[in-house]
Chain A
């Protein structure tokens, strides 16, 4: 299997007035084609920042400080400012125009809040036309619109509604439009950042089901960012758990849920309410994550960790292979 995405020692920093916050800290991971990687962790642990970094759209004052992001491209992509050759490409090396060409065409991104991610001044149809024509100016407006209609129809939205404005759509419909926009150019990698978090359970289930179908149909590789472990259990193949900008565990979905290795992953799973297990005793993780501007030495989880040892307070645990075949970053493992 080829890797659709390979990230090496990626570090992203926000330079704020209070100091530098390292929201993504030397992350290394690779993602095989046609798989769905779930990215989980508490709010503020850097999930969105990592996702945005893969698009090279980290918001101001953030910046990719170090590392490489390789994506696999299966055909040469023409570009005014230097064609992009097929094969593995390091996108941190590309110029802005080359990056623009890749966005939407090779990598698509879906945002958390469907209410604010469409331009309120444009009709739904114009969103499609502008996107399609940004990648291929030769395409006629009508043809672009027809392709938009086709995609919308597949998502259960009447094609004649392309003349409507976003405010005339419900949250669920807007998120479908966002998915349609994400998929209309058949990208290979789809990053969705909390795509259903602001939606109701029924609409959430409808949309996740549609996304699963589309994934199969279009051979997509997906990164699904969410703090909802229930959603991940139902949709992901692999799960990566982040804590304070670091990757602490990466394993197949079964192994994460059945045999979580990292103490943080274990605690997180115990805190999730489960509708099928009314007698599950919910536990919580005491305290709060440290301030990223003022990071603590050693394992960032040590003040909250029930298993913390002396070494945890001084040395950062390396990411090593775990017994279950995944990766884990904790001093409890690795024979020391």
Chain B
């Protein structure tokens, strides 16, 4: 199969997947719980207010019509309006998305780099104390709750040592760099603003380490297993027998081949990443999608919850798609 047809079929396959996702979210959040308007107000509300509320949100229409309105809206980037403030949800989503994206990118980078480094180290030292300690570390990080690790780090580095801020993305008394990408680090570089860059980095460090550490356990273990397998393969031993240096054999031969399955793992981990982001953001008051979602859940803002979940869902499917295509591109057996 050529790369082109692989990409085409993979993209076509995504359509039914996303449709299924959208429908599931609609069924779970809109139909199963009962009348969202009543749930929103909880108890005793004036029927007139209720009726008006329903009309503004389109909740008075037949359920099927609501469903099609919902789909139609999403294809136009319209995620409905919030029950809370009657604002379009998309404004919030797009406004907060860069914050989540920035945290996610650095966290996954941290997790992957640490995971690869430790995984390779463990596999090269198979069945030694180094190997056992790294494995233990990977299991521990996988088991620690996000907020616990976040709070421990906050306690040590912010409260006790006072080196880093406890939360938020940027100090309130300064203005963040002018928005171009919405990622503060990138924007400060683009604006040539060293102060903003340093500031945004100091704010990023703790949440990144927290989320990255939680994610890296699985990468360590996956890298280790794949490396162990690859290091035993004939072509790796053949490379050693040709006198290639240890580094070349480990990285150019073994890791490069072990990396393909790891890449798939990264794709699968995006869902975990976003779930982790929600908790990390809450711990560090990071003004991203996660804090938004948590705030809306506490206000019973069903439309906003639905919009955010859909947004996350579509994002995860697109990232997975991207990783799959990257995989196909990197593997010469698929690439043409």
Contacts and interface: CB of A to CB of B under 8 A. Distances in A.
Per the CB under 8 Å rule, do A and B touch in the complex?
yes
A113 interface: yes
B248 A57 contact: no
B237 A119 contact: no
A169 B248 CA distance: 24
Interface stretch (B88-96, B185-193, B252-260): B252-260
Contacts of B242: 103-104, 108, 131, 134, 181-182
B257 A59 contact: no
Q: Chain B interface mostly helix, strand, loop or mixed?
A: helix
Given A59-B232, A60-B126, A104-B243, A117 B332 contact: no
Interface in B93-149: 126
B243 A167 contact: no
Nearest to A99: B243
A121 B248 contact: no
A113 B234 contact: yes
B243 A120 contact: no
Contacts of A117: 234-235, 238
B173 interface: no
Interface string B146-174: 00000000000000000000000000000
A35 interface: no
B317 interface: no
B307 to A, nearest CB: 42
B43 interface: no
Interface in B215-270: 232-246, 248, 252-253, 256-257
B257 A103 contact: no
B333 interface: yes
A59 B234 CA distance: 11
A121 B243 contact: no
A109 B239 CA distance: 10
A109 B243 contact: no
Q: Which of B235, B245, B256, B333 has the most CB of A within 10 A?
A: B235
Nearest 3 CB-CB pairings of A with B: A104-B243, A103-B243, A104-B242
Interface of B: 126, 232-246, 248, 252-253, 256-257, 330-333
Given A130-B239, A182-B242, 8 more contacts: A100-B243, A100-B246, A102-B243, A104-B244, A130-B244, A130-B252, A131-B242, A167-B333
Interface of A: 55, 57, 59-60, 96, 100-105, 108-109, 111, 113, 116-122, 130-131, 134-135, 165, 167, 178, 181-182
